[in-house]
Structure 1
Amino acid sequence: MGLASRPGRSILLAPAPGEQHGFGLVMVDQFFRRAGWETWMNGGADSEALIAMVAERHFGLVGFSIGGETHIEKLAILIADIRRASRNPDVGILVGGALLLQEPMLVKRLGADATARDAEEAILQAEALLALQGRARGSPGLPS
């Protein structure tokens, strides 16, 4: 089975609630596409729209970018809501951005699974999270 056809290799990318930057996410999106992932970008959606998307469609991962401290609590709440609403009970949450470069330990406070310094590392982290999902279900990378 080729990379692009492997189940579970899907990611929804969005900025943290209230964040306006999107250039970094566009670059991350392109790296994931080149690595064979199905990607969805949601640059301006509010929290309710993102929650509806994960409830409607199976995503292996959801990735957020956060640049400023003022959005930490909103993102933590959104991540918890996404985990509750997700069609994928094992959805992985990846976070990145300028704030995480300065404070990588925020991953735990946000309720995320991993962070990455750049797009290449994000793909490696995403693959590792998918592998963990597969082991938890007994079959690598398959949607539940």
Structure 2
Amino acid sequence: MLEEFYRRGGWDTVLLMPGGEREICDAVSQDWFSAAGISVSCSFSQDALRALISDMRRSSRNADIAILVGGRAFGADQELALAVGADATAVDGREAIVQTHRLVGEMRHGSDRRSG
């Protein structure tokens, strides 16, 4: 569903579902991604998600990739998003698009994405 919001917003998207860690890291290492989103709908390990996000950043062809997290596990908890190493979270698809545009815009202008 979130993929459809991005497509309607003019973004090219790739959906990896369920997508294991290796598949995700391979994808970001092979193609240039401005942003990546991870949806978490139930309980999860913060340590495992933090490790995945760290591995994604290390593997990415884009050293400044913006990473958003969302889903029921996050709600709108920006602090939890930052705690796992993401740049932002959003409560719904519309806000995810807004946050992605903001983060990618800041990336292009060289500002600190985590300050907001």
Q: Percent identity?
A: 35
| 4+ long deviations beyond 4 Å | none
Q: Distance in 1 between matches of 2:94 and 2:77?
A: 19
Q: Kindly report which structure 2 residues correspond to 1:79-98, keeping only aligned pairs within 5 A, or say none.
A: 79-98=53-72
Greater strand share, structure number: 1
1:127 matched residue in structure 2: 101
Gaps of 5+ in 2: 112-116
Tell me the TM-score normalized by structure 1. 0.73
Tell me the TM-score normalized by structure 2. 0.89
Answer whether contact 2:76 2:90 (CA < 8 A) is retained. no
Gaps of 5+ in 1: 1-26, 138-144
Task: Count residues with an aligned counterpart.
Answer: 111
Q: Deviation at 1:99?
A: 1.3
Q: Distance in 1 between matches of 2:96 and 2:45?
A: 21
Q: 1:100 aligns with which of 52, 58, 74?
A: 74
**RMSD over aligned Cα, in angstroms?**
1.5
Asked which structure has the greater CA Rg, the reply is: 1
